[in-house]
Structure 1
Amino acid sequence: MDTKQFECFFDNTIEGILIIEDGFIININQAMLDILKYTNKSEIIGNLATGILIPTIHHKYLEYNNATFEEISLISKDGDIIPAIIRIKDIKENNKKYKMVFIQNLTELKEKESLLIEQSRMAAMGEMISMIAHQWRQPLSSIGTAISNLKFRINIKKYDEKTFEKKLDDVEKYLEYMSATIDDFRNFFKRDKEKELVNIQYITSIALDMIQEAFERNNISIVNKNDIKIENIYLYKNELLQVIINILTNAKDAFINKKDKKNQITIEYKELKKVQKIIISDNAGGIKEEILEKIFDPYFSTKDNQNGTGIGLYMCKTIIEKHFEGKIKASNKNEGACFEITISK
C-alpha cells in the first residue's frame, strides 16, 4: 500500500487515531480531529500527546472483543473534557519505534448511561411517594388529635398552660419529623456532583429510615448488623443510597404471598484492606436458578409490566462498577437471595 492509499484509509476510520513518537504527535486522522474539534492537522502535529490525553487518577480498564482499553479524558480545542477509551499498539518502521493510539469517544455512551440512571431513579419515585404518604400518615393523625383535644378544652373552658405547652411541643416534634422526611426524599433525587466523605453504614441507615414504614406494613423485619467499625470513604452518597433502596425494595416484593414464615432481611458489613462490602440477604425463597445470571441484564424483569421496568438491578450494577469501581453479585443462600456489594476504597 503506497502513502496516498494509507492516508486515505487512515483518514476514513471510525476510530480516532494518533501516531506518537517519543511523546510527540506526528500524525492524526480526521476522526480524531473531529472529536477534538480541530480543523487542521497542523494544529496538533508536533505537540506533546499529554496536552490532549489525560489519564484518570486511578487506571480504569475495559475489556471488549478480547482487547483491553483504558478509560481516559481528552481536551478539545475549546477546552471541553471528553470521556474516551484508548488502546495503544507499539509499531516499528525503519528502525524507529512509534505508538499508534486508537481512541473512541464515550460522550454519547456516558449521556445514555446518565439518562438510564435518571430513568431508574424516576422509576423509584412512585414507591418513594407512597413511602412519604405512609410515613406522614401517623404524625398527621397525631397532629389532628392534638388540635382536636386543644379545641375541645377551649370549648369547655378547661385547659391549663402546661397542657397547651405539651400538646404544642408534640405538634412541633411531629412537624420536625415530617420536614426531615421530606429532606431525606428530596436529597435522594438530587444528582451527586461530588463525592462525600461518608460511612456506608450511615447511608444504609438513611435507606432504612426511608423504607421503614413500608416494611413494617408488610411484616418484614430488618436486622442491621452494624456492630463492626467501618472507615469513612469518599462516595457518591445518593447513588449508593439508590442501590441499597433498590435491593431492599426488590426483597420486599419477593415476600409477597410468603406469609407462612418470619419475613426477615439481614444486612451485614465487611471492612477489608482495599474494599468495603455490604451484604443484604433475605429468606424470601431465593431467585430461580435459570434467571439468576440474567437479573443484572438491562430491561430484564421478573415483575409484570406495571410493576417493573427491568432497569433497577442493571443500574445498580452500572453504578457500582462505573462509579464505585466495585462489583455486585447475587446468589441464593439460606432459603433466600443474597446480594453482595463490593466498593473500592
Structure 2
Amino acid sequence: MALKQSVPGENAAGGKPPGSLVFSVRTKGLVVFGALIAYAVIIALFVFHQKNQLLRDFEEIQKSLEVDSMLKQADTAAFHAVMGVFANVDSSDRQAGMQRIQMHYQILRTKHAELQEAVPAFDVRLDAADAALEEAFRDASRENMSQLIVELIKTKNEFTNLAEQSQQARSRMSERYRMQTDSVAMTTMFLGMMGLALLGTIMALFFKQLTEDLRTLQQRAIDIVNGYRGEPIPIRRHDEVGQLMEAVNSMATALDKREKELIVERQKYFHQEKMAAIGALAAGVAHEIGNPIAAISGIAQDMRERREAGLGFCAEDYCKDCRPDLIQAQAQRLAAITREIQEFASPQPAEPQLLDLNAQLRSTTSLIRYDKRLRGVELRLDLDHNLPAIDGVADQLTQVIMNLLINAMDALESVKDRPPTVVISTRQEGDRVCMAVADNGSGMEKDVLERVFEAFFTTKPAGKGTGLGLSLCYSIMKNHGGSIEIESTPGVGTQVKAYFPLNET
C-alpha cells in the first residue's frame, strides 16, 4: 500500500455535484410564474369546455321545446281530424264531408312530416290511418268511419304519449343542466382556491427555506470569524444562495489551509529558534563542563603515565586496582558527547546550500540514539557512500529526519513479537536522491494512511502528538522541490521515502 500525497486540504467541501443544474432565484420565480399562468390556462380551458358542454345541453333543451311544440301541434291536428270525422260521419253531403275530413287529415300529415324532418328517430306512423282513410273514401259507411276514428285516436294517443315523454326528458335535461352549472361553478371555485393555496404554500416553504439558509450563512460567518473550521455547510440548493454557501465553504477551507500553513511555518521558525537556543545552551554547557572533563582526563593520563613509570603512590600494591585508563576513556566519551551536541545544535544557515545527506543522518542519529525510546531498538544505517550532494536547508532537513525517526520509534512501542528495528537508507534514483526510513512496527490502516499528511491529524493519545509532524515534513519537502511517499502494511511496518531533486548545476 503506497500513498503519494498531493497538496493537503485543497479539496473544497460542499461543492455542487457534477452536471447539476443551476437555477437562480429569478429563474425559480419565473418558473413559478409560468406554472401559475399554465394553471390559469388549464382552468380557463376547463371552463370553456364546460361552457361548450352547457351550451350543447341548452341547445338540446331548446330543441326539446321545439319538438314538444310540434308534438302538441300534431296532437291538436290529430284531435281536429278526429273531431272532423265525428262531425261529418252523418253528413248528408258525403262528398263535402269527406273533403273536410281530408283537409283535417292533410294538416295532420303536414305536422307529422315536420316531426319526421325535425326528429329522424320519430316512430309514429300513419300507415293504418292512411288505409282507414282510403277505405272510408271508397266506402263512407259508419263502420269504416268508426275505424278511421279509432286509428286517428290511436295516432293522437301516440302524440300525447310522446309529448309527455318529451316533457319528462326536458325536465331531466333541465335538472341536469342546473346541476352541471352548479358543478362547474363549484369546480372552478375549488380549482381557483386550490391554486391560490398551492401558490401560497410554495411561497411560504420557499421563503422559510431561504430564511433558514440565510440564518445558517449568518451563523457560519460569525463562527468563521470566531475561528470555527468544522464541517462545511451542506448545500441543498443550486441558486445564488447555494453559490454563496459554496463561497463561504471555500472561504472556510481556504482560511483553514492558510492557518495550517501559517502554523507549519511558525513551527519551522520555532524549530530554528529552538535550535539556536539549544546551540547557545550547548555551547555554554560544553564550555562549563569542558574544563572539568579536560582536567579529569589529564589527571587520569598523569596517573597512567606514573604507573607505567613506577613513580609515586600509583606504583604501590594497594593502588594496583586503580584503572586510570577507564577514567580517561569515559572522560573522552563525555567530551565526544559534548562535541556531538555542540555540532548538532550549532547555528546553520537559513538559506539553501549544498549538503551531505549522509552526514546529516549520521549527526542526527548519533544524538537521537540517547533517546530512551530507542533502548532495545536496532537502528541501522544503510548509506550510499557515493551519494551526491543535495541542495537544502540543514535545520529543516534535520527536522524532517527527527520527525520521521520519532514516528518510527512511536510505531515500535507496541512491537513485542519481533526485534524492533529501524533502518535508514540512502540511494540515488535517476535525477533525485531517496532517503528511506523503515520500521517493522504496527503499520497503518488505509483510512489512516490517506490522512497522515493532514495538519493536526494524529492517532496518538492526547498530549503525545500534535499531528504536525508529517504535515511539516511534507511542507519542507515541497519547499525543497521534492516529494514524500509512505508505504505501510498493518502489523508489518512502515517505510517513508523522501525524494530530493539533484542540483543540475
For Structure 1 versus Structure 2, the TM-score category normalised by the shorter chain is 0.5 to 0.7
Alpha-carbon distance between aligned partners in 2 of 1:183 and 1:202, rounded to the nearest angstrom: 15
Indicate if the aligned counterparts of 1:184 and 1:210 stay in contact, CA closer than 8 A.
no
1:81 aligned partner: none
| Residues 341 and 299 (structure 1), Cα distance of their counterparts in 2 relative to 1, 3 Å cut | same
1:98 aligned partner: none
Are residues 1:311 and 2:468 paired? yes
1:52 aligned partner: none
Aligned with residue 159 of structure 1, among 286, 301, 314: 314
For 2:339, give the aligned amino acid.
Answer: A
Shift of 1:341: 0.2
2:478 aligned partner: 321
Indicate if the aligned counterparts of 1:120 and 1:312 stay in contact, CA closer than 8 A.
no
Q: Could you tell me which runs of 5 or more consecutive residues in structure 1 were left unpaired when the two chains were aligned.
A: 1-60, 67-106, 130-139
Query: Could you say what secondary structure the match of 2:453 adopts?
Result: coil
For 1:287, give the aligned amino acid.
Answer: M
Alpha-carbon distance between aligned partners in 2 of 1:112 and 1:191, rounded to the nearest angstrom: 22
Deviations 1:50-103 (A, max 9, x none): xxxxxxxxxxx9x9799xxxxxxxxxxxxxxxxxxxxxxxxxxxxxxxxxxxxx
Aligned with residue 266 of structure 1, among 423, 427, 430: 423
Query: Could you say what secondary structure the match of 1:300 adopts?
Result: coil
Alignment of 1:240-259 (within 5 A): 240-259=397-416
1:211 aligned partner: 368
Alpha-carbon distance between aligned partners in 2 of 1:235 and 1:160, rounded to the nearest angstrom: 57
Alpha-carbon distance between aligned partners in 2 of 1:204 and 1:253, rounded to the nearest angstrom: 19
Alignment of 1:184-223 (within 5 A): 184-187=343-346, 190=347, 192-214=349-371, 217-223=374-380
Deviations 1:295-325 (A, max 9, x none): 1111111112211111111111101101x10
2:451 aligned partner: 294
Q: Which moved more, 1:292-301 or 1:224-233?
A: 224-233
Shift of 1:251: 0.7
Which one scores higher on RCO, CA 8 angstroms, separation ≥ 6?
Answer: 2
Alpha-carbon distance between aligned partners in 1 of 2:472 and 2:315, rounded to the nearest angstrom: 57
Q: Could you tell me which runs of 5 or more consecutive residues in structure 2 were left unpaired when the two chains were aligned.
A: 1-6, 13-257, 282-291, 307-311
Alpha-carbon distance between aligned partners in 1 of 2:264 and 2:484, rounded to the nearest angstrom: 18
Indicate if the aligned counterparts of 2:452 and 2:458 stay in contact, CA closer than 8 A.
yes
| Residues 197 and 305 (structure 1), Cα distance of their counterparts in 2 relative to 1, 3 Å cut | same
1:17 aligned partner: none
Deviations 1:179-223 (A, max 9, x none): 213213423xx4642223222122111121011132685311122
Alpha-carbon distance between aligned partners in 1 of 2:262 and 2:443, rounded to the nearest angstrom: 34
Query: Could you say what secondary structure the match of 2:369 adopts?
Result: helix
Indicate if the aligned counterparts of 1:329 and 1:340 stay in contact, CA closer than 8 A.
yes
Greater share of strand: 1
Query: Could you say what secondary structure the match of 1:258 adopts?
Result: coil
Deviations 1:8-38 (A, max 9, x none): xxxxxxxxxxxxxxxxxxxxxxxxxxxxxxx
| Residues 123 and 284 (structure 1), Cα distance of their counterparts in 2 relative to 1, 3 Å cut | farther
Query: Could you say what secondary structure the match of 1:213 adopts?
Result: coil
1:14 aligned partner: none
Indicate if the aligned counterparts of 2:344 and 2:363 stay in contact, CA closer than 8 A.
no
| Residues 171 and 286 (structure 1), Cα distance of their counterparts in 2 relative to 1, 3 Å cut | closer
Indicate if the aligned counterparts of 1:192 and 1:239 stay in contact, CA closer than 8 A.
no
Q: How many residues align?
A: 229
Radius of gyration: which is bigger? 2
Shift of 1:230: 0.5
Alignment of 1:1-345 (within 5 A): 113-119=264-270, 158-159=313-314, 166=325, 169-170=328-329, 172-187=331-346, 190=347, 192-214=349-371, 217-227=374-384, 229-322=386-479, 324-333=480-489, 335-345=492-502
Alpha-carbon distance between aligned partners in 1 of 2:495 and 2:274, rounded to the nearest angstrom: 23
Shift of 1:278: 0.6
Shift of 1:248: 0.8
For 2:487, give the aligned amino acid.
Answer: S
The TM-score normalised by the length of structure 2 is: 0.38
For 1:251, give the aligned amino acid.
Answer: A
Shift of 1:335: 1.0
Indicate if the aligned counterparts of 1:123 and 1:309 stay in contact, CA closer than 8 A.
no
Query: Could you say what secondary structure the match of 2:448 adopts?
Result: helix
Deviations 1:263-321 (A, max 9, x none): 11122222133211111111102112211111111111111221111111111110110
Alpha-carbon distance between aligned partners in 1 of 2:340 and 2:420, rounded to the nearest angstrom: 25
Indicate if the aligned counterparts of 2:374 and 2:409 stay in contact, CA closer than 8 A.
no
Indicate if the aligned counterparts of 1:281 and 1:337 stay in contact, CA closer than 8 A.
yes
| Residues 208 and 215 (structure 1), Cα distance of their counterparts in 2 relative to 1, 3 Å cut | farther
Deviations 1:95-140 (A, max 9, x none): xxxxxxxxxxxx9998655313234678999xx99xxxxxxxxxx9
Query: Could you say what secondary structure the match of 1:244 adopts?
Result: helix
The TM-score normalised by the length of structure 1 is: 0.54
Deviations 1:127-174 (A, max 9, x none): x99xxxxxxxxxx99x999989x99x9xxx732599897467436513
Q: Percent identity?
A: 21
Query: Could you say what secondary structure the match of 1:302 adopts?
Result: coil
Indicate if the aligned counterparts of 1:327 and 1:342 stay in contact, CA closer than 8 A.
yes
Alpha-carbon distance between aligned partners in 1 of 2:465 and 2:259, rounded to the nearest angstrom: 26
